[in-house]
Amino acid sequence: MNVASTHPILATRDILGVPVLAATAGEAVAAIEARLARGERIKLAFLNAHTSNLAAADDGFRTLLGDFTVLNDGVGVDLASRVLHGERFPENLNGTDFTPRLLAESKRPLRLFLLGARPGVADEAAAALLRLAPQHTIAGTRHGYFAPSEATAVAAEIAAAKPDVLLVALGNPGQERFIQAQFDRLGVPLAIGVGALFDFLAGRVSRAPGWVRGLRAEWLYRLWREPKRLWRRYVLGNFKFISRLLWARAARRRMPASAPLA
Ligand code: UDP
């Protein structure tokens, strides 16, 4: 049976200028696998309130995200879906949970390359990923602290390792920019911008307890752990995001209803 033909094309929802896939985790995994099986190459990113704000402030970044398959991450983007489209996203698909799930569910053995985080972290994250998804192998790892002038050489090093999946943890928007700029050189079928995933997998940064995640308040936990670094992103950033959302809703209400066709 041809898997690709059994999965309908999933719809996207515009979230403040960025099209975001509306799917459950299972549907998203199936759709990605089907597209890869058809020989498509995929760039995957996750949109949360912070990345949405970055996209609003930078046309280049917003345009670039249009070339990515974008999944919804967090309560802010979910609220935006409810306000702008009248319904929530089917499931929260943050990269920290979705990426390991995608790899764990992929039966075909894959070669993984992990790029990013501080020296040593990607190796520990790779070992943790193999415990979750032992069918795969590691094509290589590399830390994420290199000068922009080294990006092409880093991409060539990754291409030489011939991975099937590249995980890029350089923070936003650096990781998406790297994937976009180097995609042809990399040649990899699937590249994913994964944020702080390696730090979590390596146990360098602790995740919120399950009940906090259940309340969709992981960002509050992260803010509590790293207030100095993150207050601007979460406190100011969330205020900015909500303001943009209310503005978009007000603008929509001001738009005249379309006239019926004669
Ligand atoms: N990072 C990196 N190179 C950089 C900046 C960040 O490798 O130049 C790594 C950082 O060590 C961390 C990951 O990117 O592992 C995500 O960074 P951050 O926590 O700032 O991003 P978030 O996912 O929270 O948006």
For the stretch 63-121, pLDDT in tens is: 999 999 999 999 999 999 999 999 999 999 999 999 999 999 999 999 999 999 999 99
Report CA torsion sign: 49, 128, 204, 175.
negative
Q: What is the Å distance from ligand 1's center to 169 Cα?
A: 6
Q: What is the Å distance from ligand 1's center to 175 Cα?
A: 9
Contact 202, 125 (CB under 8 A): yes
The C-alpha atoms of residue 154 and residue 160 are separated, in whole angstroms, by: 10
Listed range (3-12, 140-149, 150-159, 164-173) with the worst mean pLDDT: 3-12
Other beta carbons within 10 Å of 239: 11
pTM for this entry: 0.91
**What pLDDT is attached to residue 154?**
98
The C-alpha atoms of residue 23 and residue 21 are separated, in whole angstroms, by: 6
Q: What is the Å distance from ligand 1's center to 195 Cα?
A: 6
Report in angstroms the alpha-carbon separations of 95 from 100, 192, 234, 255: 8, 9, 18, 35
Q: What is the pLDDT of residues 158-215, one digit of tens each?
A: 999 999 999 999 999 999 999 999 999 999 999 999 999 999 999 998 888 988 888 8
List Cβ neighbours of 155 (8 Å cut-off, separation of 6 or more): 178, 182, 185, 186
Q: Residue with the nearest Cα to atom 21 of ligand 1?
A: 171
Percentage of residues in the chain having pLDDT higher than 90: 80
Banded pLDDT at 257 (limits 50, 70, 90): low
Which of 110, 124, 99 has the alpha carbon at shortest distance from 193? 99
- Closest ligand 1 atom, CA of 230? 24
Q: Residue with the nearest Cα to atom 5 of ligand 1?
A: 170
Average pLDDT taken over every residue of the chain: 92
Examine the pLDDT at 216 and tell me if it is beyond 70. yes
Q: What is the Å distance from ligand 1's center to 248 Cα?
A: 30
